[in-house]
Structure 1
Amino acid sequence: MDELKVCNLNAGWNKRQILFNINISIKKGEFICLSGPNGSGKSTLLSIIAGVQTEPVFGNIKESVPISCLNIKQRAKTVSYMQQKEFPTWDYSVKDIVLTGRFPHTNFTGFYSKADFYAAEKAIEQLNIENLANKSILELSGGEFQKARIARAVAQETEFMLLDEPVAGLDFTYQEELLSLLKSIAKEKNTGILISIHDINTAARFAQKIALLPKFKPCLYGTPEQIMTKENLCAAYNANIEICTHPIYKTPLAVF
């Protein structure tokens, strides 16, 4: 499966439509950022693509077969999803939490194999949290727990990863490190990665494509240069915005 497509998607909740005519595609190997103002439906869109929220009002999510037709394990082998918030209640270690990302790959016994333990260890190394491996998740800071959750998604080894605000709560240095890592995973493991992120300037630096989600309007989808125009951003954020070029990275830069 080389591509995950969102086709003519209209959806909402509590009898209120939030998403309007969404058309985006995520190809394997691509790193894509989903951005937009608060309340525009970014989390809703990610959860629908992952198949964990209510079915779309209209439209569908296309793979070789519709994702809604896959059973839970098949879906979890195809798409890994990290929701925006998670509140730990059980006293598990970080390595145990990361290992749960391997559950879709277990057989009917539910036991983990050597390959599963290796994948979990590798993910912990990639996120540079070896020093936290034996630590209880109840003792972690918000940023540390965020890294452990991302390591779990990486260990899942899916064709597509959907991460809802993975850099929220992380300082600038860790944001840079994590976004660089995710972009390298997309390329090296040929994984399609879609993340939501509030800072559209950061999105422009790292993303190959941006999906800009205005409130109650169709999604704009394209390269950072195509999406980050004064007209698009002023309309999406209802603010006076100027566009210039970043002096170092040479990417579009929105000045508010």
Structure 2
Amino acid sequence: MILRYGDTGDDVSLLQRRLTRAGYPVAETHIFDHATESAVMTLQRDRGLVIDGIVGPKTLIALPGIALALHLTDADLVTAADALGVSVAAIRAVNEVESRGEGFLPDGRPVILFERHVFYKRLKAKGIDADAIAAKYPNIVSSTAGGYMGKAAEYTRLATAERIDADAARESASWGAFQIMGYHWKALTYPSIDDFVSRMQRTEADHLDAFVRFIAADTALLSALKGRKWAAFANGYNGPDYARNLYDAKLAQAYAKYAERDKVAA
């Protein structure tokens, strides 16, 4: 469940009651208004969460005061912005739009998405008969994308792929909150694919670090982010389908929101 400014209904009313019980009093209006957003942001600041005013799984869990050891913090976003030489508002926008929001599954493993067409290409590059394997495991090896099962089930697909070629399998999955493909490990200066995966298993800060490395290694992407050229950034990060999903418009809208918020705070 995701709640944000403008939402209405019983879920918002329940959120308002929980905020009040947690020490962040707000009127029970059934409307996610500015007062509710302000209370949420104060909670997020107190709990060390990303301060975006959006109520997702981490904010809901944090309401009773439970510590989240693996979560991304607002300080992490500031560090990332400094590392790339961009505004914090730009990083906040990317975090809201381009990240999965939750970098780990409930069982503690990092979120992944296994790409069977990437695995096909990497097997081919190793001189392995990918077509023969595809005939036996079409959901794992294919010249076309697809076969997704989502969430924890992606690890079942990965495990099958690892029995064929472990390194190529891990390189063929996107990892963590920012969906960085494993095969980038060398370009991003990780010692090995095993080291990359090990870091992705640690914290969301490591996921953000992989994102920072990815952007820093691509001059076009970094230039687009610095210049807030959202269409160019979305195209470079997501591919040509970005327009269909309105990623550029969402990034522009999120950036405007955070830039204005930072301006008011200053």
Name the structure, 1 or 2, with higher relative contact order (CA <8 Å, separation 6+).
1
* TM-score of the two chains, using structure 2 as the length reference: 0.30
More strand by share: 1
* TM-score of the two chains, using structure 1 as the length reference: 0.31
Larger Rg computed on CA atoms: 2
